[in-house]
Amino acid sequence: MIAAAVLTTVSAATLSGCGSGSGASGKTIKVVYQQQLNNSNHIQADFLGPMVEQFEKANPGTTVKLVPVTASENDYYTKIQLMMRSPATAPDLVYEDTATINSDVASGYLRPLDDYLKTWQDWSAFAAPAKAAMKFSDGKTYGVPDNTDTRGLWYNKQLFAQAGIPVPWQPKTWADVLTAARTVKSALPGVTPLNVYTGVAAGEASSMQGFEMLLYGTPAADDALYDSKQGKWVVGSKGFTDALDFLHTVYGEGLGPSPQQALGANIQAAVGTEMIPSGKLAIDLDGSWMPNSWIRTGPKPWPQWQSTMGMAYMPTQNGQGSGKVSMSGGWAWSIPAKAKNPDLAWKFTQFLESRANSARWNSVNATIAVRTDVASDPEYLKALPTNGFFTSLVPDTYYRPGVPAYTQVSSAIQKAMESVTTGQASVGKAASTYDSDVRTAVGGDKTVQGAQ
CA 144 to each of CA 98, 160, 383, 424: distance values in angstroms, whole numbers, following the listed order: 10, 41, 23, 42
Confidence of residue 15 (pLDDT cuts 50, 70, 90): very low
Is there a single domain that holds both residue 122 and residue 268?
no
Q: What average pLDDT does the chain have?
A: 91
The three-state secondary structure class of 328 is: strand
Confidence of residue 41 (pLDDT cuts 50, 70, 90): low
* Chain-centroid distance, C-alpha 166: 30
Helix (H) or strand (E) holding 40: none
What mean pLDDT comes out for the span 193-222? 96
Is there a single domain that holds both residue 131 and residue 155?
no
- With a cut of 60, say whether residue 12 has pLDDT above it: no
Q: Are 170 and 312 in contact (CB under 8 A)?
A: yes
- With a cut of 70, say whether residue 371 has pLDDT above it: yes
- With a cut of 60, say whether residue 4 has pLDDT above it: no
Rounded Cα distance between 121 and 104, Å, is: 27
- With a cut of 90, say whether residue 206 has pLDDT above it: yes
Confidence of residue 25 (pLDDT cuts 50, 70, 90): very low
What mean pLDDT comes out for the span 187-210? 97
CB half-sphere exposure, 448, CA atoms < 13 A? 14
Is there a single domain that holds both residue 22 and residue 116?
yes
Q: What are phi and psi of 281, to 5 degrees?
A: -135, 125
Q: Which residues contact 2 (CB under 8 A, 6 or more apart)?
A: 359, 360, 363, 377, 379, 380, 383
Is there a single domain that holds both residue 235 and residue 377?
no
Give pLDDT, residue 378.
81
Give pLDDT, residue 38.
61
The three-state secondary structure class of 119 is: coil
Rounded Cα distance between 371 and 123, Å, is: 9
Length of the chain measured in residues: 452
Give pLDDT, residue 128.
83
User: How many domains does the structure of the chain reveal?
Assistant: 2
Q: Terminus-to-terminus CA distance in the chain, angstroms? A: 50
Is there a single domain that holds both residue 201 and residue 298?
yes
Is there a single domain that holds both residue 113 and residue 33?
yes
Is there a single domain that holds both residue 117 and residue 159?
no
What mean pLDDT comes out for the span 94-112? 92
Give pLDDT, residue 10.
36
Is there a single domain that holds both residue 365 and residue 386?
yes
Cis bond before residue 336 (omega within 30° of 0): no
Give pLDDT, residue 251.
98
CB count within 10 Å of CB 127 equals 18
Give pLDDT, residue 295.
86
Confidence of residue 39 (pLDDT cuts 50, 70, 90): low
Q: What is the side-by-side order of every strand in the sheet holding 281-287? A: 192-195, 281-287, 151-156, 309-312
Q: Are 399 and 325 in contact (CB under 8 A)?
A: no
List the one residue out of 270, 179, 226 whose CA is nearest residue 412: 226
Rounded Cα distance between 193 and 250, Å, is: 9
Q: Are 351 and 18 in contact (CB under 8 A)?
A: yes
Rounded Cα distance between 130 and 133, Å, is: 5
Q: Are 448 and 233 in contact (CB under 8 A)?
A: yes
pTM of this prediction?
Answer: 0.78
Q: Which amino acid is at 370?
A: V
Rounded to the nearest 10°, the torsion over CA 169, 175, 179, 180 is 30
- With a cut of 50, say whether residue 280 has pLDDT above it: yes
Is there a single domain that holds both residue 365 and residue 409?
no
Is there a single domain that holds both residue 218 and residue 92?
no
Rounded Cα distance between 296 and 364, Å, is: 10
The three-state secondary structure class of 374 is: helix
Is there a single domain that holds both residue 187 and residue 297?
yes
Give pLDDT, residue 375.
86
Q: What is the CA radius of gyration of the chain?
A: 22
| Residue 124 vs residue 41, higher pLDDT | 124
Q: Which amino acid is at 432?
A: S
Rounded Cα distance between 197 and 201, Å, is: 10
What mean pLDDT comes out for the span 122-129? 91
Residue range 405-419, pLDDT digits in tens? 998 999 999 999 999
Give pLDDT, residue 72.
81
Is there a single domain that holds both residue 294 and residue 182?
yes
What mean pLDDT comes out for the span 309-327? 97
List the one residue out of 237, 197, 200 whose CA is nearest residue 411: 200
- With a cut of 50, say whether residue 17 has pLDDT above it: no
- Domain boundaries, position 364: 2-149+329-393
List the one residue out of 251, 169, 173 whose CA is nearest residue 206: 251
Q: Which residues contact 90 (CB under 8 A, 6 or more apart)?
A: 83, 84, 336, 337, 338, 339, 340
User: CATH number of the domain that 97 lies in?
Assistant: 3.40.190.10
- With a cut of 90, say whether residue 394 has pLDDT above it: no
Give pLDDT, residue 28.
96
Confidence of residue 438 (pLDDT cuts 50, 70, 90): very high
Least confident of 96-105, 199-208, 346-355: 96-105
